[in-house]
Structure formats: structure tokens, C-alpha cells
Amino acid sequence: MSLERIVDVDRAPLLSIVVLVYNTAPYLPECFDSLLQQDYRDIEIIAVDDGSSDDSLAICRAYEARHPNFRCIGKHNEGGAVSGNLGVSLARGRYVALVDSDDVVTRDGYRLLMEQALQADVDIVIGRAARLQDGRLSSVAFLYEPYVWSRRRRFDSVNEFPDVIHDCFYWNKVFRTAFLREHGLGMVPGLLYADRPFVHRAYWYSRRTVIIPELVYHWRRRPEGATASISQNIRQADNFIDRIHSMKLEWHDFDDVPAAAGYRRAIAVANLQRALHAAPGIVASPTFRKVFIEQMQALLALYGELDCRSLGARRCLYLELIRRGEVEALCFLLGVTSERGWIAEIDGACYWKQPFLDNPEVPLPRAAMRLEFPNIGFFRLRDISLDENSLDLTLDLHDRIMEGCAVWFELHSIQGEGSWEFQPEGRIGEHRWRYRLDLRGRECRPGSLYGLVLHYRTGDGIHGRYRIGPAMVPPGWPASLPLRSSLGSLMFSPEAGGLGLAVN
């Protein structure tokens, strides 16, 4: 054994990286190499193989033999949560990170995270992630997470930045090891969706959290036909049951924490939104339908009265139908309604016009169908133009909805370099509104990418945002892209998660 190996083994590193390994042999070398080639060198790698049936353990052993800061732990199959907890318990570093073994960490990822961690003994540092699919990066799979990562932040309580709950992943972070141990923070053994309760508890207890906008992690989506990851199987019955179980557990995590009542309600609303992602699967599968309805009804009974209006009219109506057991009506809406929604104006308010509005045979409250702010399918961009001076767009949105809330647009930097807000130019026709972004004098780094975002806020505090995707423009309109000026090109960009401006 060389002196270098003895020194590395005996001296505790600043960062321990725990890799959760299970049947990912085709991806392991890329994952491990991304860790060993980090700019940040003061690391140890602990690969925990959870009883793989492929060549994963042999690959781990080979890396252990070649690299003095690499340890391999082989164990019988107990699930990723047990592997993660074991790895953290063995970590010698002041900070610890968790990595899924089919993913990749950017070369400077841990240097950027650890710089922030060590400056002020931070409990958690969070970096930006992107989907890796077929060798390309994408933000399309992310809903609200890009806004969590949109700029550099530091906060001492989750109440200062409650939107952080939308980033519920363990793998784009470093945690102070003593912080995890002090609060007994770990993942529930046997639970597939064990990351959400763990991360949400960590946010609650953290007294110093930092977010950086730099990209640190590539989250792989495996090719169709390959063995799917947990997150790619959300419409399988067992997978969905586990997902709902994790949601119930994190509700109970805060049973005896009165100060966290608002926090756990916010998590519950976000969990309902995520659970409804699986709803379309009930249309073609009676087996999954039965499981979905039973599990959702149990979850709604546990949550009790929640203000779910921020989920929008479609989801609120779906939840009301689930609660009442109107399964046929739910399947009808999921199976035949298009992305374009019809609006009925009644007594000065707007509602989703579909067969169950004021239907005496299926008596449902109008409030579950009310459109108080822009909902997907009930607005779209009419046109957009780009020249040397400005970026201009026209929004189609019902006048009554616009009267009840503020709506604005911005180009926000994917790399966290700020945002450019459009100026409203007012109503230019029935249900039609104009916005302009002055591009003169804009300074930005070549290669920067900005995503187009619609924001809204109602008078009683409901707020949200959408990245502008293909469903939000007229059919055939994307064929006119890209639009070009000397500043850059406007196009649909997977990395931006929708319409984006790529700076020249």
C-alpha cells in the first residue's frame, strides 16, 4: 500500500459522497468517473451496492481496487433508503452528498456546493439540476424547481422561502453531516419515495440553507425499453401506493409540531398536485383506477380541509370528483377533454365549461371549477415578434380573469444571471393583452439561456408561474421558430423547459 493511500484512508475528508447502487451496471462508470474527476478533490466515495443481480458490485470492487478514496459496501437487497442511511452513517466527511448511480455530477458541481457550505458552516447547499436524456439536457420534466434554483439565495428558516419545498430531491445537495445526525434525519426503510419526507424534514430543521443557480447534477432518464427508474413507473399500482404512503408519512412527521402547520399544508397541496400526475393512467386501466381512487380518497381524508385553489380549476375539479367517488365523470374528463378549455362566464366570474358545470345529476360546487387566474388550456400566446429593439407578445386571456389578478411575463436566466421583465401595454382587444420587453442596452454573457415565464398573483395571495411550452401557443405556430436578432435566437428549448432566448 502506498503512502498516499495510507494518508487518504487515515485522514477524514471534507466531503463524503454516498452512491446508491442497484442494477445500474451500464451507467456506473460514467457516474463514478464524474465523481473521481471532480474539481473538488477532498472527497471520499462510498458506493453501497444493494444486492445487485447484474455486474454492478464487480464494477464497484474494481473502482475500489484502483482508487484509494473509493469504498465499496456490498449488502443484501433492502432498498435504496437503507443503502442511503448506511452510507451516511459511514461518512467521515464534514459534509455528505447522496448520488443515484445512473446519474452524473458536473465537473465543478461539488466545488461550487462546498465553497458555499464551508464559508458559513451551512446546513444544506442546493444546486441546479437538469434532466439527462439521450445525451441532451432538459428542464421539461421539472415544474416549479427551476424557480427554486433561479437565483442565489440564503435563508435561515424555510418560512423565508417556502417555495423550496418544490425541490424534494436528495441528489443535488450537500448536507452538513453533524446536522443530519443531530436531528436523526434519514430515509424511511423500505420506502421507494423516501427522498421527499427526508428532504422536507431537513428543510424544516435547517438554520442555514443556501441555493446556488449553477448546474451541478444531471438526472438521467433511461431509454424506453431499459429498466426504468422509480420515477418512471408512477402509473404502476405498487409504485403509486408507495408514493401515497410517503405523502401520508410526511404529513404525520409534523403531527406534534404546531409551528409547522402551515408548512405541512403547503407540502400536502404540492403532494396532491404530484399525485394527480398519475391520474390519466386510470382511463385505460381498471386495475390502476381502483388503486388510484382508493389511495387518493384516503389521502384526501387524512389532509382534511385544504385550500387547493392554487392547483387550478382542472385539478380542483378532479379532486372533488375523487372525493365524491364520481369515477365515471373523472374518467370522462381525463379521457376526452383537450388541452384547450372552454370558459363560461356566470355572474361576473369565469368557470371551466364542461358537462358537469351546473349539472343536476352530478351536483358539484361551482367553486371547484372557477378560473381565478391563468390555467393551462385557458390561455395562450396569440403571437410573438423579435427584432433588434424589442420582444413583443400578445396574450389571449379572458378579461374577467385578468381583472381578478396581476399577470406579467419575464425572461429568467436558466443560469441564475437575473431576469428581464416585460412591460404591460394594456388591452388591445377583447380578451387580448399586449406585453413588450425592451432589448436595447441589455448586457448578457454569450451562451446564456433565458426562459419565457408567465407569472400571476390574485388579490388574495394565490401566486404561481408557467414556463411557456408548445401547448400554450396556437397549433402550427412553433414551425415559425426560431426568431432571430443580433442579441440571440428565440426557440423552444428543452434545457429552458419551453420557449427560450439563447444569447449569441
Secondary structure (DSSP) of 304-371: -S---GGGHHHHHHHHHHHHHT-HHHHHHHHHH--SSPPEEEETTEEEE-STTTT-TTS---GGGGB-
What is the reported pLDDT for 232?
45
Q: Per mean pLDDT, which range of 80-89, 386-395, 424-433, 471-480 is the poorest?
A: 471-480
What is the reported pLDDT for 339?
58
Q: With bands split at pLDDT 50, 70 and 90, how would you rate the model's confidence at 231?
A: very low
From start to end of 104-260, where are the E strands?
Answer: 104-105, 124-133, 136-138, 153-155, 173-176, 209-220
Q: With bands split at pLDDT 50, 70 and 90, how would you rate the model's confidence at 224?
A: low
* Cα–Cα distance for residue pair 455/349, rounded to 1 Å: 21
What is the reported pLDDT for 5?
35
What is the reported pLDDT for 49?
97
* Cα–Cα distance for residue pair 153/164, rounded to 1 Å: 11
Closest residue by Cα to residue 230 from 24, 494, 18: 24
Residue at 134: amino acid letter: D
What is the reported pLDDT for 192?
87
* Cα–Cα distance for residue pair 454/468, rounded to 1 Å: 7
Is the separation of the CB atoms in 267 and 200 below 8 Å? Answer: yes
Residue 289 in this model has a pLDDT that exceeds 60: yes
Residue 372 in this model has a pLDDT that exceeds 80: yes
* Cα–Cα distance for residue pair 198/168, rounded to 1 Å: 8
* Cα–Cα distance for residue pair 305/294, rounded to 1 Å: 18
Q: With bands split at pLDDT 50, 70 and 90, how would you rate the model's confidence at 201?
A: very high
Is the separation of the CB atoms in 92 and 173 below 8 Å? Answer: no
Residue 293 in this model has a pLDDT that exceeds 70: yes
What is the reported pLDDT for 7?
34
Is the separation of the CB atoms in 46 and 126 below 8 Å? Answer: no
Q: With bands split at pLDDT 50, 70 and 90, how would you rate the model's confidence at 236?
A: confident
Tens digit of each residue's pLDDT (9 = 90 or more) over 307-316? 999 999 999 9
* Cα–Cα distance for residue pair 376/390, rounded to 1 Å: 26
What is the reported pLDDT for 147?
87
Tens digit of each residue's pLDDT (9 = 90 or more) over 255-266? 999 999 999 999
pLDDT above 70 as % of the chain? 95
Every domain of the chain and the residues it spans? 3-220, 233-369, 380-503
Residue 440 in this model has a pLDDT that exceeds 50: yes
Q: Per mean pLDDT, which range of 53-67, 152-166, 221-235, 283-297 is the poorest?
A: 221-235
What is the reported pLDDT for 56?
97
| Cis peptide bond upstream of 363, omega within 30 | no
- Which SS3 state, helix, strand or coil, does residue 133 take? strand
What is the reported pLDDT for 479?
87
CATH architecture classification, 380-503: Sandwich (2.60)
**DSSP letters spanning 227-280:** PPPGGG-TTSHHHHHHHHHHHHHHHHTTTT-GGGHHHHHHHHHHHHHHHGGGGG
Closest residue by Cα to residue 428 from 418, 419, 436: 436
What is the reported pLDDT for 87?
97
CATH, domain range 3-220: 3.90.550.10
Tens digit of each residue's pLDDT (9 = 90 or more) over 328-357? 999 999 987 655 679 999 999 999 999 999
Is the separation of the CB atoms in 12 and 93 below 8 Å? Answer: yes
Tens digit of each residue's pLDDT (9 = 90 or more) over 472-481? 998 888 888 9
Q: How many CA atoms lie within 13 A of 159 on its CB side?
A: 5
Which positions ≥6 away from 241 have C-beta within 8 Å?
291, 295
Tens digit of each residue's pLDDT (9 = 90 or more) over 446-465? 999 999 999 999 999 999 99
Mean pLDDT value of segment 69-75: 97
- Which SS3 state, helix, strand or coil, does residue 6 take? helix
Tens digit of each residue's pLDDT (9 = 90 or more) over 108-157? 999 999 999 999 899 999 999 999 988 888 988 888 898 899 889 999 99
Mean pLDDT value of segment 317-325: 97
Q: How many CB atoms lie within 10 A of CB 66?
A: 9
Residue 471 in this model has a pLDDT that exceeds 90: no
Query: 3, exposed or middle or buried, with CB in 10 Å at 0-12, 13-18, 19+?
Result: exposed
Longest CA span, the chain: 82
What is the rounded average pLDDT for all residues in the chain? Answer: 92
* Cα–Cα distance for residue pair 216/172, rounded to 1 Å: 7
